[in-house]
Amino acid sequence: MTPTRTALAGALMLVAAAPLAACGSSTSAPTHQRLSLTIKGSQVSPSPHQVDLGAGSTLTLTVTSDHDDELHAHGFEVEKPLKAGVPLTITLKGAQPGLYEVETHHPPLRLLSVAVR
């Protein structure tokens, strides 16, 4: 190849690769979410809903109840006692993809679902 052809071939390779480099990585950095919940009797505020949590990301959950109970986060192996009027803070880290319930036991209440993706 002559120097002109070599230079042209190199330039074409750079142009062809440019769109791939511009796309960047398809994975995003882990994030950290925070959520506070309040339990009054059998009412949960905010209402039970689904929280999306990326793999490697964390959710810090603070729960305050008006009665003694037990908090259970399925799939995260977390069970902690809730004391009336004392905020309980737990951190959940998204590891295994799936849909997991966070609940209390006395009375049985669903606080939220965590969808790890």
What domain range includes position 104?
32-116
pLDDT at 29: 61
Helix, strand, coil percent content, the chain, rounded in steps of 5: 20, 50, 35
pLDDT at 78: 96
Distance, in Å, from the CA atom of 96 to the CA atom of 66, rounded to the nearest integer, reads: 32
Structural domains in the chain (count):
1
pLDDT at 21: 34
Q: Is 7 among the domain residues? A: no
Residue that the structure tokens 């919940």 belong to: 37
Q: Is 52 among the domain residues? A: yes
Q: Is 24 among the domain residues? A: no
Q: Is 5 among the domain residues? A: no
Q: Quick one: 114 exposed, middle or buried, by C-beta within 10 A (0-12, 13-18, 19+)?
A: buried
Below-70 pLDDT ranges, the chain: 1-29
pLDDT at 16: 34
